[in-house]
């Protein structure tokens, strides 16, 4: 282990960029699990699905980010379908939704993963764009443009979703469902339709997150396993359903991972998110920025 302040500064800089990216890939889960209480273990798998669709669209000449935006409506519908299915099969029947709901999403994640393997093989896939493979020289530091692009889109996605939830009527309705579903039912609103809408939005956001995932690095079908740790770490650390907390938690994870990467090597990095997750669950399950 070699320590120097230059390396530390570089690690911090890279960590901040990485952290915003992690916040963006977790924001969908922050809505679906954090606000709606759906044990959506398949969130990273859906995101990787988005990466592969981006890859296909990029093959037709689309810019990856444009591809991600184009995919959002389709994923919105997909999300509504998944929630409807989940609701009809588990939430409505009530009993034991916990074990079965978890098993359902776990199975769904594997169906997506194997579907991708059957369609694309196990090889890594990546996309081409002007900002991929080049970097910005900033004094002694070199920042890859792909990280900057992901950073920008991530901030935009996080802030727009957070504004949507706090300023619009439907956004506030979603928060109301999260706070007190029976009360909403008593007021004459239909919580199921609101939750379905919200789950659609969360899944739509995953499409763009998937596009960023393939911008930041090559993607393979089993990548979702690693992101189970990262996304749940961010969402739990953030305190369930807090949007600004998601950004803060993403930054903490990004910096931590980047420091470990820089000083201990890449082979330890995958354990950072899972380790942090275990520590948070063991010490403070309500998260740092919890309600």
Among 136, 156, 170, 278, binds other proteins (CB under 8 A): 278
Name which of 44 and 68 has its Cβ closer to other proteins.
44
Min separation Cβ 240 and other proteins, Å: 10
**Residue 118 engages other proteins in binding (rule: CB under 8 A):** yes
Question: Closest Cα to residue 55, out of 130, 128, 119, 131?
Answer: 128
Q: Compare residues 87 and 145 and give the one whose CB is closer to other proteins.
A: 87
Return the C-alpha torsion angle 232, 235, 238, 243, nearest 10: 160
Among the listed ranges 70-78, 91-99, 161-169, 199-207, the one in contact with other proteins (CB under 8 A) is: 91-99
- Using the rule CB under 8 A, which residue among 102, 155, 189, 192 binds other proteins? 102
Of residues 15, 254, 277, 287, which one binds other proteins by CB under 8 A? 277
Other C-beta atoms closer than 10 Å to the C-beta of 61 total: 8
**One residue of 14, 21, 33, 227 binding other proteins per CB under 8 A:** 33
3-state secondary structure the chain: CCCCHHHHHHHHHHHHHHHHHHHHHHHHHHHHHHHCCCCCCCHHHHHHHHHHHHHHHHHCCCCHHHHHHHHHHHHHHHHHHHHHHHHHHHHCCCCCHHHHHHHHHHHHHHHHHHHHHHHHCCCCECCCCCCCCCEEEECCEEEEHHHHHHHHHHHHHHHHHHHHHHHCHHHHHHHHHHHCHHHHHHCCCCHHHHHHHHHHHHHHHHHHHHHHHHHHCCECCCHHHHHHHHHHHHHHHHCCCCHHHHHHHHHHHHHHHHHHHHHHCHHHHHHHHHHHHHHHHHHCCCCCCCC
Question: Which listed residue (16, 66, 69, 117) binds other proteins by CB under 8 A?
Answer: 117
Structure tokens at 93: 């029947």
With binding defined as CB under 8 A, does residue 168 bind other proteins? no
Least distance (Å) between residue 245 CB and other proteins: 17
> In terms of CB distance, is 2 or 137 closer to other proteins?
2
Give 117 or 155: the residue with its C-beta nearer to other proteins: 117
Kindly write out the interface string for residues 190-229 of this chain, putting x where it contacts other proteins by CB under 8 A and - elsewhere.
Answer: -----------------------------------xx-xx
Residue 290 lies near other proteins (rule: CB under 8 A) = no
Applying CB under 8 A, which part among 145-153, 181-189, 205-213, 267-275 lies near other proteins? Answer: 267-275
| Closest CB 97 distance from other proteins, rounded Å | 9
Size of the site for other proteins (CB under 8 A): 38
CA–CA distances in Å: residue 73 to residues 112, 205, 249, 266:
19, 9, 28, 36
Q: Which stretch binds other proteins (CB under 8 A): 69-77, 93-101, 155-163, 193-201?
A: 93-101
Residues that bind other proteins (CB under 8 A): 33, 39, 41, 89, 96, 98-100, 102-104, 106-108, 110-111, 113-115, 117-118, 225-226, 228-229, 232, 236, 267-268, 270-271, 274-275, 277-278, 281-282, 285
């Amino acid at each position: 282990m070699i320590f120097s302040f230059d390396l530390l500064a570089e690690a911090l800089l890279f960590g901040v960029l990485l952290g915003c990216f992690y916040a963006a890939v977790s924001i969908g889960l922050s809505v679906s699990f954090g606000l709606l209480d759906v044990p959506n273990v398949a969130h990273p798998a859906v995101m990787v699905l988005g990466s592969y669709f981006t890859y296909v669209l990029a093959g037709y000449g689309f810019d990856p980010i444009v591809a991600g935006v184009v995919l959002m409506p389709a994923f919105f519908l997909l999300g509504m379908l998944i929630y409807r299915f989940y609701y009809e099969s588990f939430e409505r029947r009530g009993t034991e939704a916990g074990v079965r709901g978890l098993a359902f999403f776990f199975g769904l994640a594997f169906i997506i993963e194997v579907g991708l393997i059957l369609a694309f093989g196990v090889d890594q896939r990546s996309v081409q764009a002007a900002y991929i493979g080049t970097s910005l020289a900033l004094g002694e530091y070199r920042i890859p443009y792909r990280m900057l692009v992901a950073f920008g889109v991530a901030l935009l996605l996080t802030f727009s979703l957070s504004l949507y939830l706090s300023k619009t009527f439907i956004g506030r309705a979603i928060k109301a469902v999260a706070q007190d579903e029976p009360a909403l039912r008593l007021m004459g609103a239909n919580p199921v339709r609101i939750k379905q809408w919200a789950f659609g939005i969360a899944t739509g956001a995953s499409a763009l997150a998937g596009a960023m995932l393939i911008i930041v690095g090559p993607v393979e079908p089993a990548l979702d396993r690693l992101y189970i740790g990262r996304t749940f770490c961010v969402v739990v650390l953030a305190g369930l359903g807090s949007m600004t907390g998601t950004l803060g938690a993403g930054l903490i994870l990004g910096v931590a991972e980047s420091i470990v990467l820089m000083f201990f090597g890449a082979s330890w990095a995958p354990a950072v998110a899972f380790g942090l997750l275990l520590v948070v669950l063991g010490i403070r399950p309500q998260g740092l920025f919890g309600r």
